[in-house]
Amino acid sequence: MPSETFERLAENKKKAIFDAAVEEFSNHSFSQASINQVVQSAGISRGSFYQYFRDKEDLYMYVLGEIAREKMTVAAATRDINPHADFFETYRQMFMSILDWAESQPRYYRISMLMDYDDSAFIAKLRDQFGGNWDFFRQLIEKEKQRGRIEPHVDADIVVEMLFALNKSFFQDYWQTGSRDQLVDRMESSLNIIKGGIARV
């Protein structure tokens, strides 16, 4: 966590440092991000930086925390999804709201993307923790099974794992090509195939 000295800083200075960190972390993976770049871009001295943060990991955690806080807004918006919508519709809606977020905050989104492109132990641990709350979907599938809308023999875990993998892969592609339409198409098509494979008819 940042030092108390940092907390006491003027808002605009804190923001300058945060922005510089976001800039660096959205262009380089954690391992390759350079504190030198950050301090230069933020317009502070090297010594100051180390008075605010213990090291690069500390800074990274701070940035992630701030982003998570801002993300709350999105999460809140996600909550008022039609509770009567079925699993597939719910997934679709959540997917779209994540996509909207990615497009409205491309730098934040790139940071999360770059987490997948780093093999340091630190980031690996983070990946596991922040893995996203896919548990929600697992429970939703179980409910649908009880309601008879999904075949009862279906393993909810594997469906969630599939969606997770597809989500990650399609988003990564989108990150490079930048075609929103293709991303949405892929999501729709793959979801329909899965639906065909597990829905009770």
Partner DNA sequence: GATAAAAATGACAACCCTGTCACATGACAG
Partner DNA sequence: CTGTCATGTGACAGGGTTGTCATTTTTATC
Q: Does the protein bind a copy of itself through residue 130 (CB under 8 A)?
A: no
Number of residues that bind a copy of itself (CB under 8 A): 33
Minimum distance between the CB of residue 117 and DNA, rounded to whole angstroms? Answer: 18
Taking the least distance from each CB to DNA, the nearer of 48 and 78 is 48
Closest CA to 5 of 63, 54, 67: 54
Minimum distance between the CB of residue 154 and DNA, rounded to whole angstroms? Answer: 47
Taking the C-alpha atoms of residue 132 and residue 11, their distance in angstroms, rounded to an integer, is: 30
Q: What's the token pair of residue 49?
A: 């930086």
**Contact region with DNA (CB under 7 A), list: 48-56, 111-119, 126-134, 187-195:** 48-56
Q: What's the token pair of residue 1?
A: 């966590």
Q: What's the token pair of residue 190?
A: 């793959």
Q: H helices of the chain, where?
A: 4-7, 11-25, 35-42, 46-52, 56-79, 87-104, 106-115, 121-129, 135-147, 156-177, 180-198
User: Using CB atoms within 10 A of its CB, is residue 199 exposed (0-12), middle (13-18) or buried (19+)?
Assistant: middle
Q: Which of 1, 34, 65, 158 binds DNA (CB under 7 A)?
A: 34
User: Per-residue x/- mask for a copy of itself, residues 65 to 84, rule CB under 8 A?
Assistant: --------------------
Taking the least distance from each CB to a copy of itself, the nearer of 49 and 87 is 87
Q: Does the protein bind DNA through residue 48 (CB under 7 A)?
A: yes
Contacts 24+ apart (CB under 8 A), 97-100: 98/74, 99/180, 99/183, 99/184, 100/74
Which does residue 155 bind out of DNA, a copy of itself, none, counting CB within 5 to 8 angstroms by kind? Answer: a copy of itself
**Which chain residues interact with DNA by CB under 7 A?**
4-5, 8-9, 13, 33-37, 44-48, 50-51, 55-56
**Which chain residues interact with a copy of itself by CB under 8 A?**
28-29, 31-32, 114, 116-119, 124, 154-155, 158-159, 161-162, 164-166, 168-170, 176, 186, 189-190, 192-198
